[in-house]
Amino acid sequence: MKSIDSEQVLQAKEEVSPLSSLVRDVLTTVKIGIVNSNLMTAFTGVWLAVWMTGSSWSSVIFPVLFVLIGTALVIAGGCSLNNFIDRDIDPLMERTHERPSATGKLGGKTVLIMGLSLSITGLLALLAASTTAAAFGLLGLLVYVLVYTMWLKRSYTMNTVVGSVAGAVPPIIGWAAIDPLLQSPIPWVLFLILFMWQPPHFLALAMKRVEEYRRAGVPMLPVVAGFEVTKRQMIFYVSVLVPISLLLYPLGLVYIVSASLLDLTWLVLAVYGLVAKDTIKWARIMFVYSLNYLTLLFLLMIVSTFFN
């Protein structure tokens, strides 16, 4: 009886395997990690807007659902289109060579249709939340796909900076579901925080993968200008980020003290890069810290509202 059960389980696993593989390929293509991180920042925009405006969650539940679903779909669509466009250079990089669009597990036409479908559906969902949310969703999508992926990424070192606009709009999109007129400066401060956060984050990644970018012909700053120039630029962005993050002082003392510790730790780490003997190891630490910084800072924004 046990042997029969084992065979049935094995057969069931074999039957599920193709579906599991497809789900995994789709999640990889839409870059589910990027979707999740952007959803976190969009939700923070929603949360702070509800808190600042004194709205009740019951009165805004539908706009909130539409804006979160729409944000996720637009980002997933943009990432799919990014994979469609980059399927010629992705096989040249270790970080991206196993993407389904690069290996051919998902054909180019499939990825293109998926990207367009997700993007359009997401924009419609954002439109149901508010016209402002849809407008900023469209702005982020166009910057990411057309300006960054199709133009700047392969031509100019400023690709990282300009591309940061796309990654900085989710909190504004979230806020716009509650306050379409964007009457508070807070969503713009959230935008600036994310805008200044992205260059040192992605430049750390570019330093780690410098030879891969060089091989793929992508003119990231470490490839074109070298590590020393890249380090100085990273220090600049982190140092500017410190006072910007403190513009959220209305969140109270808990936020100010905790954010200051996060900021100063990152700044010290960035400056240490000037004397670090193992640059690649330092870049790895910078990259990991940047991820933790973003998660903790935005979580801190939400938590701080409970102390006010």
| CATH number of the domain to which 129 belongs | 1.10.357.140
Asked whether residue 13 carries a pLDDT value surpassing 50, the answer given is: no
Does one domain contain both 233 and 159? Answer: no
Location of structure tokens 């031509």? 155
Q: Which domain holds residue 66?
A: 29-184
Look up the CATH number of the domain holding residue 239.
Answer: 1.20.120
| Number of domains into which the chain is organized | 2
**Final residue before a domain boundary, out of 166, 184, 202:** 184
pTM, rounded to two decimals: 0.93
* Region 10-21 average pLDDT: 62
Residue 136 has pLDDT above 50, yes or no: yes
**pLDDT category of residue 12 using cuts at 50, 70 and 90:** very low
Shared domain for 34 and 172, answered yes or no, is: yes
Token pair of 18 as six digits: 């193709």
Residue where a domain stops, chosen among 184, 213, 233: 184
Do 37 and 178 fall within a single domain? yes
Residue keyed to tokens 């910078």: 286
* Residue 150 and residue 38 in one domain: yes
Look at residues 101, 81, 201 and name the one whose alpha carbon lies nearest to residue 149: 81
Q: Is residue 179 part of a domain?
A: yes
Q: Render pLDDT for 149-190 as a digit per residue (tens, 0 to 9).
A: 999 999 999 999 999 999 999 999 999 999 999 999 999 999
According to DSSP H, which parts of the chain are helical? 2-29, 32-53, 57-85, 100-103, 108-129, 131-142, 159-168, 170-178, 186-208, 210-216, 221-225, 227-245, 253-272, 279-304
Greatest pairwise CA separation for the chain in angstroms: 69
Residue 145 lies in a domain: yes
Three-state DSSP at 45 gives helix
The residue out of 154, 184, 214 marking a domain boundary is 184
- Residues 33, 54 share a domain: yes
Is the residue at 14 inside a domain? no
pLDDT at 14 over 70: no
Residue 201 lies in a domain: yes
Report the distance separating Cα 193 and Cα 284, nearest Å. Answer: 21
Residues 47 and 173 in one domain: yes
CB contact set of 48 (below 8 Å; sequence gap of 6+): 175, 186, 187, 190, 301, 302, 305
Q: Do 163 and 209 fall within a single domain?
A: no
Residue 111: its pLDDT value, please?
Answer: 98
Q: How far is CA 37 from the centre of its chain?
A: 5
Please give the structure tokens belonging to residue 300.
């801190």
User: Does the residue 176 lie in any domain?
Assistant: yes
Measure Cα distances from 182 to 4, 143, 175, 251, 255 in Å. Answer: 63, 21, 7, 18, 22
